């Protein structure tokens, strides 16, 4: 087992560090930056269908559901098709309104999650076209879907999902751009520039991983907290949810992710000098608004940890701890901003003496209801 960990203390840490490579593997052979073209062999038979689809429904559980939320943002932004993201467990019991016109995308690392499988069967009965986004090749979900795209992240051993999540987000990005390509909602030059930027993401992740020591120091300062809030807007919102999930899964600190603007409708009541609040405060369309949310937390003496775009001195002055990530298109932000939150959760859990790779009560794959 020590050998399999490749010199890392835990599988989770190894898998966090594998992300530049796993994302590259996920894109390999699928993008052509020079020509601004995307090829997704697994769903190419459905290219015509995607041109005319009126609605996409994403079903998933856990971390995969968070990836689905980033997919909603990406697909709506680039292909202008309305997307709904559903917890598979809710969808399956709601007599969902699905027709043969719909495309349902099921996301699952393991490809074995019982609720996601049941959701697929229901959508299939109603005549929808089902795509899978799975990591484990040949698992049950890829076998019951009509078509799909593998994430190719390689085996994920840590129960808390890390590299599978970023690979799912990468596939959803490719899918969103692929649909845009079919529909013609993006020009070739825009596609070229987006694909070029996407292609540079693994290198940027490498730069984020280099902040590990800083993150470890921050972890030391907040490791004894009893609660933690994660706030973000736009594509930063699913990142906040995922950051909170990682922390609660492996460190057993109660953590919640919220859209930053919703803070005033509840979570603000919890803020005092004991409460760490992690903000996704990168320079994008909602930057100014997030900055004012940070001020609101500081006015109540909360401890602010901000994920910012490198070179941001404004937020740095206001907050307790700052983690810089390279600048990127808003749509690609989740791929970068998630990494420091994975590391933060990891270090806090290690410092608290938790079993990082096998947290209590959790399973890697939930094959029962």
**Residues known to be catalytic:** 364
Q: Is residue 144 near ligand G6P by the rule CB under 6 A?
A: no
x/- mask, ligand G6P, residues 79-108, rule CB under 6 A, reads -----------------------------x
Of 15 and 25, which CB lies nearer to ligand G6P in the complex structure? 15
Distance of closest approach, residue 271 Cβ to ligand G6P, in angstroms: 29
Distance of closest approach, residue 326 Cβ to ligand G6P, in angstroms: 27
**Which single residue is written with the structure tokens 């825009």?**
190
Distance of closest approach, residue 33 Cβ to ligand G6P, in angstroms: 29
Q: Is residue 116 near ligand G6P by the rule CB under 6 A?
A: yes
* Helices of type H across 140-262: 140-144, 163-183, 188-199, 201-209, 212-222, 236-251
Helix (H), strand (E) at residue 148: strand 147-150
Task: List the one residue from 19, 22, 63, 182 that touches ligand G6P (CB under 6 A).
Answer: 63
Q: Is residue 137 near ligand G6P by the rule CB under 6 A?
A: no
Q: Are 60 and 68 in contact (CB under 8 A)?
A: yes
Largest Cα separation within the chain, whole Å, is 56
- Interacting residues with ligand G6P between 155 and 184 (CB under 6 A): 159-161
Q: Pick from 195, 231, 242: which is nearest to 68 by CA? A: 242
> What is the token pair recorded at 16?
């966090």
The angle formed by the CA atoms of residues 283, 281 and 192, to the nearest 5 degrees, is 40
Of 189 and 361, which CB lies nearer to ligand G6P in the complex structure? 361
Distance of closest approach, residue 188 Cβ to ligand G6P, in angstroms: 34
> What is the token pair recorded at 29?
């052979």
Q: Pick from 268, 294, 261, 289: which is nearest to 279 by CA? A: 294
Of 12 and 215, which CB lies nearer to ligand G6P in the complex structure? 12
Distance of closest approach, residue 62 Cβ to ligand G6P, in angstroms: 3
Q: Are 196 and 33 in contact (CB under 8 A)?
A: yes
- Interacting residues with ligand G6P between 305 and 364 (CB under 6 A): 362-364
Q: Is residue 366 near ligand G6P by the rule CB under 6 A?
A: yes
Question: Regarding beta strands 37-38 and 31-32, do their DSSP bridges make them parallel or antiparallel, or are they unpaired?
Answer: antiparallel
Distance of closest approach, residue 64 Cβ to ligand G6P, in angstroms: 4
Residues in the chain: 369
Stretch that binds ligand G6P, among 20-28, 57-65, 209-217, 288-296 (CB under 6 A): 57-65
Task: List the one residue from 19, 89, 113, 293 that touches ligand G6P (CB under 6 A).
Answer: 113
Alpha carbon dihedral 138, 141, 142, 145, in 10-degree steps, equals: 150
Residues that bind ligand G6P (CB under 6 A): 61-64, 108-110, 113, 116, 159-161, 362-366
């Amino acid at each position: 087992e020590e050998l399999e960990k490749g010199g890392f203390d835990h599988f989770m840490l190894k898998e966090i560090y594998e992300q530049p490579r796993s994302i590259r593997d996920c894109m390999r052979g699928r993008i052509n930056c020079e020509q601004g073209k995307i090829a997704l062999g697994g769903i190419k038979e459905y290219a015509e269908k995607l041109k005319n689809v009126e609605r996409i429904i994403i079903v998933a559980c856990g971390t995969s559901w968070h990836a689905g939320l980033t997919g909603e943002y990406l697909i709506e932004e680039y292909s202008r098709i309305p997307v709904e993201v559903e917890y598979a467990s809710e969808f399956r019991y709601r007599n969902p309104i699905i027709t043969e016109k719909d495309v349902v995308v099921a996301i699952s690392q393991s490809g074995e999650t019982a609720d996601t499988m049941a959701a697929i069967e229901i959508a299939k009965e109603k005549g929808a076209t089902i795509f899978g986004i799975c990591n484990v090749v040949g698992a049950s979900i890829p076998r019951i879907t009509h078509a799909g795209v593998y994430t190719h992240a390689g085996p994920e051993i840590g129960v808390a999902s890390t590299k599978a999540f970023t690979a799912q987000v990468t596939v959803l990005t490719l899918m969103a751009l692929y649909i845009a390509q079919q529909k013609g909602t993006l020009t070739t030059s825009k596609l070229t520039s987006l694909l070029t930027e996407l292609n540079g993401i693994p290198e940027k992740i490498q730069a984020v991983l280099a902040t590990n020591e800083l993150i470890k120091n921050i972890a030391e300062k907040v490791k004894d907290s009893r609660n933690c809030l994660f706030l973000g807007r736009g594509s930063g919102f699913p990142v906040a949810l995922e950051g909170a999930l990682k922390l609660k899964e492996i460190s057993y600190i109660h953590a919640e992710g919220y859209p930053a603007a919703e803070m005033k409708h509840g979570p603000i009541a919890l803020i005092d000098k004991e409460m760490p609040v992690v903000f996704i405060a990168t320079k994008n369309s909602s930057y100014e608004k997030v900055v004012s949310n940070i001020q609101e937390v500081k006015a109540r003496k909360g401890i602010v940890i901000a994920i910012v775009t490198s070179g941001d001195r404004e937020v740095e002055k206001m907050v307790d701890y700052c983690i810089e990530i390279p600048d990127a298109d808003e749509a690609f932000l989740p791929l970068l901003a998630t990494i420091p939150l994975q590391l933060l959760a990891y270090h806090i859990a290690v410092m608290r003496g938790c079993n990082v790779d096998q947290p209590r009560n959790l399973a890697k794959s939930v094959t029962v209801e």
